[in-house]
Amino acid sequence: MHVLIVDDEELIRNVIKEYLLLENFDVSEASNGLEAIQKVKEQDYDIIIMDIMMPKMDGYTACREIKKIKDIPFLMLSARGEEYDKLIGFDLGIDDYVTKPFSPKELVARLKAIVRRQNKNSQIYEVAGIKLDDLAHEVSIDNKLVELTPKEYELLKYFLENINIALSRESILSNVWGYDFYGDDRTIDTHIKTLRKHLGPYKNLLITVRGRGYKFENKK
């Protein structure tokens, strides 16, 4: 997943980039709207994080021009949180709007939500004898349906969406429980334990990564 960060403040780009790299995104940068347009002409991106107030070309104008070239999801950043500014962005077809100062964890969670919506057609996940059908909201193990709690279901789905990627507890909490969750990461450990029981002969595919979190392995 390749993200283009467009902001004239290098410090902000660096902070966002650091968090995205921790989540295994590929990241490119641009310091203004004109540079962003040129990069989009040269390369494909899965999503763009775009600041609004920038020199040479503002984010709104850059967004409008980019959408004439390619249909790319946008998450807009702005120090201005007035409703009018947000409405301008949504009229341009942006997918979300985050006001500065912002939580990097919240920004990443919102970005991932956009990506999931864009990939909504990829709704069947199969690994070994495990199948998750998101259209039917069903999970089967060796062709036998298993009953999962809503959180177990979302947890399994998140792992299958990120197969073979080591996921931190923070990332799991943010994406499964939501970035505003105020519990502790022992909640994850409890759900992992019960999820493994449901996975039966495939429980060993869900492994603990020491000092990191968890990973769902496809051992093919």
Q: Are 209 and 170 in contact (CB under 8 A)?
A: no
99 shares its domain with 144: no
52 shares its domain with 140: no
CA distance 78 to 71: 22
Strands 167-168, 213-216: pairing is: antiparallel
Of 170, 169, 156, 161, the C-alpha closest to 206 is 156
Among 96, 118, 140, residue at a domain's last position:
118
Range of the domain at 61: 2-118
89 shares its domain with 142: no
Q: Tens-digit pLDDT profile for the chain (220 aa)?
A: 899 999 999 999 999 999 999 988 999 999 999 999 999 999 999 899 999 989 889 899 999 999 999 989 999 988 776 666 777 878 888 888 888 888 888 888 888 878 766 765 557 888 989 999 988 889 999 999 999 999 999 999 999 888 888 888 888 887 888 755 555 567 888 899 999 999 999 999 999 998 888 999 886 5
Q: Are 132 and 160 in contact (CB under 8 A)?
A: yes
Q: How many structural domains comprise the chain?
A: 2
- CATH number of 169's domain: 1.10.10.10
CA distance 97 to 88: 11
Among 118, 143, 159, residue at a domain's last position:
118
Strands 96-99, 167-168: pairing is: unpaired
| Structure-block tokens of residue 180 | 């505003």
Q: At what angle do helices 59-69 and 33-42 cross, to 10 degrees?
A: 20
What's the whole-model pTM score?
A: 0.56
Among 118, 151, 169, residue at a domain's last position:
118
